[in-house]
Amino acid sequence: MTVLITCPPMLKSIGEFRPIFEDRNIELICPEVVQTLTEEELITLVPQVDGWIIGDDPATARVFAAGKKGKLKAAVKWGVGVDNVDFKAARALDIPISNTPARFGEEVSDVALGYLLSLSRHLHQIDRKVRNGIWHKPPGISLTGRKAAVIGFGNIGQATAKKLTAFGLQVSVYDPFANANEEEKRHFVFDSLDNVVSNAQFLIITCALTPDNRHLINDHVLALLNQGSYVVSVSRGPILDEAALVRALERRQVAGAGLDVFENEPLTLDNPLHKFDNVIFGSHNGSNTIDAVRRASLKAIEILFTYLKN
């Protein structure tokens, strides 16, 4: 039996997991992956394997159809986000498939708070200046009493909202599908998108990407923020209209942004966001801690073995 792994964090730690597969006489295929493989590469590889642990690759209907014509029996999407995987196509082909939900809320929310703290106190800019011999002392803003808008109240959004309150921020949440308990309703304000964003000092995007929320955060929404606000995105890049963010940065409606994700990844050198020194770039790395990678990988392996009956 053969398993393909295309998830970069899991691949980087594959030495830890390889014995689990060897004990079951399973051969691993571990290609070099920076972010994703192409659809054509996957169409070549996937039919050769019995199981597939998917990263952020384009797991399309074409890929699953090719896999079904070959050996593919089951797949698992490593992690929470599933926008890159055509689950409907896989299931129509009778290919068992799942993701590993609720694995990274704490880790990704930590990164969101890291961006927020750095932006509010210009820590990234101070570091750059001091490294160049400039004793830079820009004034920041205090967090206590200011409004933070959290977009999405899933595992990541819930963890983010709780941590924001620890810093004294007033937290408003937009999530039309939120199933908040009574305690959460006491601590956070749940409202429409416009009301949640209006006059917020911080906008933090934590929701999953769906066909309905591409460019949910657009010119209209960004204009509702406080003048000189900050935007943090740690979920999926296409939820934020990057062209609209560029316009908001140019007119200083938005004073800075922390972006772990982008509309197109990896970020290219010709992206107009590069011209702003008040934007912090990430590498879609919010979930990548030793602990979280181990936790999600072991769960992915467990699910896959169940499907493969191994």
284 included as an active-site residue: yes
Helices marked H in 31-154 — which ranges? Answer: 39-45, 61-69, 87-92, 105-121, 123-131
Tell me the C-alpha distance between 254 and 90, whole Å. Answer: 41
Find the catalytic residue in 236, 250, 294, 302.
Answer: 236
182 included as an active-site residue: no
| Rg value, the chain, Cα | 21
Tell me the C-alpha distance between 308 and 297, whole Å. Answer: 16
249 Cβ neighbours under 8 A, 6+ residues apart: 256, 257, 276, 278, 279
Q: Write out 250-289 in H/E/C secondary structure.
A: HCCCEEEEEECCCCCCCCCCCCHHHHCCCEEECCCCCCCC
What residue has token string 């770039």?
A: 281
265 included as an active-site residue: yes
* Token duo for residue 274: 């590069």
DSSP code, position 209: P
Find the catalytic residue in 265, 294, 295, 302.
Answer: 265
Tell me the C-alpha distance between 215 and 230, whole Å. Answer: 17
Find the catalytic residue in 284, 294, 295, 302.
Answer: 284
What amino acid positions are annotated as catalytic residues? 236, 265, 284
